């Protein structure tokens, strides 16, 4: 982070990614600028859900897609919430640049997944997930929807994340571990697809706890990806040697977190 006196405050992706909830606040990067949207969430004309989907990320493409860059009223309003500049490191070494891009894209992907999954299991969605503490009755259809959400988590979230992690991690033993985890998840999905109509659905309390466990896994993976990105950003910002041991430790932790969830 740039702390030079008189200079504009600057932020990296690892810093922006931490601000995605009501406890920390909501930050978003747009067109190389960082905005604190915490006080704006409830005022957004399109509702807060669309913003919650993209907080903690560089949302420039989404911003341009809806044409907000052409709306002078929007651009003027945004100035109130601007807190600094968004820095995307550019390394002189091409291999370093390639590796950082992979890690930053994986962090953004994980942030996007966590945002979406949090909205999916939010207590706002009472039709899908009842308050288990009030003994609400869960219909068979809603039980199936909750069960399908668990399957979608593995198919659309975990398998994609594992693939991205394999692209980032260079240690062969760790990539082999990721491959084994992916194979186990794929076998589970194949069994589910074959027996979907006859498989015994678990109780609402069990399914709800498993959904919470999935969210915790995403949170832990995201935190470690933030640490990895912070490592590369410090390497860029302070021009210090890349801490190889810290990098390996972070990679090992990412694999261990996934192993713990799927292989126990």
pLDDT in tens, 112-122: 999 999 988 87
DSSP-derived 3-state class of residue 247: helix
The token pair at 237 is: 């910002």
Q: Does 137 have pLDDT greater than 80?
A: no
Q: Does 255 have pLDDT greater than 50?
A: yes
User: What's the confidence (pLDDT) of residue 129?
Assistant: 52
The token pair at 4 is: 């030079």
pTM over 0.85: yes
Domain assignments of the chain as residue spans, ordered by start: 10-86, 94-262
φ and ψ at 11, to 5 degrees?
Answer: -135, 145
* DSSP classification of residue 264: -
Architecture of domain 10-86: Roll (3.10)
Cα–Cα nearest to 40, from 25, 23, 18:
25
Cα–Cα nearest to 204, from 261, 136, 153, 119:
136
Q: pLDDT tier at 74 (50, 70, 90 boundaries)?
A: confident
Lowest-confidence region among 30-39, 52-61, 194-203, 250-259? 194-203
The string of DSSP codes covering 144-172 is: HHHHHHHHHIIIIIIHHHHHHHHHH---H
Lowest-confidence region among 39-53, 160-174, 195-209, 210-224? 195-209
Lowest-confidence region among 58-67, 70-79, 127-136, 247-256? 127-136
Helices (H), the chain: 13-16, 49-52, 60-65, 72-78, 94-120, 140-152, 159-168, 172-195, 204-238, 244-262
* DSSP classification of residue 221: H
Q: pLDDT tier at 2 (50, 70, 90 boundaries)?
A: very low
> Which residue do the tokens 């430790």 mark?
249
Q: Does 123 have pLDDT greater than 60?
A: no
Q: Does 133 have pLDDT greater than 70?
A: no
Lowest-confidence region among 37-46, 125-134, 201-210, 212-221? 125-134
Q: pLDDT tier at 3 (50, 70, 90 boundaries)?
A: very low
User: What's the confidence (pLDDT) of residue 138?
Assistant: 64
Share of the chain above pLDDT 70, in %: 86
Distance CA 264, CA 258 (A): 10
β-bridge pairing 82-86 and 33-36 = antiparallel
User: What's the confidence (pLDDT) of residue 121?
Assistant: 83
């Amino acid at each position: 982070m740039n702390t030079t006196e008189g200079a504009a405050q600057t932020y990296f992706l690892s810093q922006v990614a931490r601000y995605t909830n009501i406890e920390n606040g909501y930050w978003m990067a747009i067109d190389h600028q960082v905005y604190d949207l915490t006080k704006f969430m409830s005022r957004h004309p399109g509702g807060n859900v669309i913003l919650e989907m993209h907080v903690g990320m560089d949302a420039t493409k989404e911003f341009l897609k809806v044409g907000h860059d052409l709306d002078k009223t929007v651009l003027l309003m945004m100035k109130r919430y601007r807190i600094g500049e968004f820095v995307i490191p550019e390394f002189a070494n091409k291999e370093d640049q390639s590796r950082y891009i992979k890690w930053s894209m994986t962090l953004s992907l994980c942030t996007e997944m966590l945002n979406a999954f949090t909205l999916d299991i939010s207590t706002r969605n009472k039709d899908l997930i009842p308050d288990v503490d009030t003994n609400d009755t869960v219909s068979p259809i809603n039980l199936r929807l909750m069960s399908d959400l668990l399957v979608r988590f593995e198919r659309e979230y975990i398998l994609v994340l594992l693939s991205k992690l394999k692209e980032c991690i260079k240690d062969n033993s760790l990539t082999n571990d990721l491959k084994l985890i992916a194979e186990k998840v794929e076998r589970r999905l194949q069994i589910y697809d074959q027996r979907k109509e006859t498989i015994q659905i678990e109780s609402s309390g069990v399914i709800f706890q498993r959904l919470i466990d999935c969210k915790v896994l995403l949170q832990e993976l995201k935190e470690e990806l933030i640490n990895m990105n912070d490592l590369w950003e410090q390497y860029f910002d302070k021009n210090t040697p890349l801490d190889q041991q810290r990098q390996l430790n972070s990679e090992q932790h990412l694999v261990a977190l996934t192993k713990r969830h799927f292989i126990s």
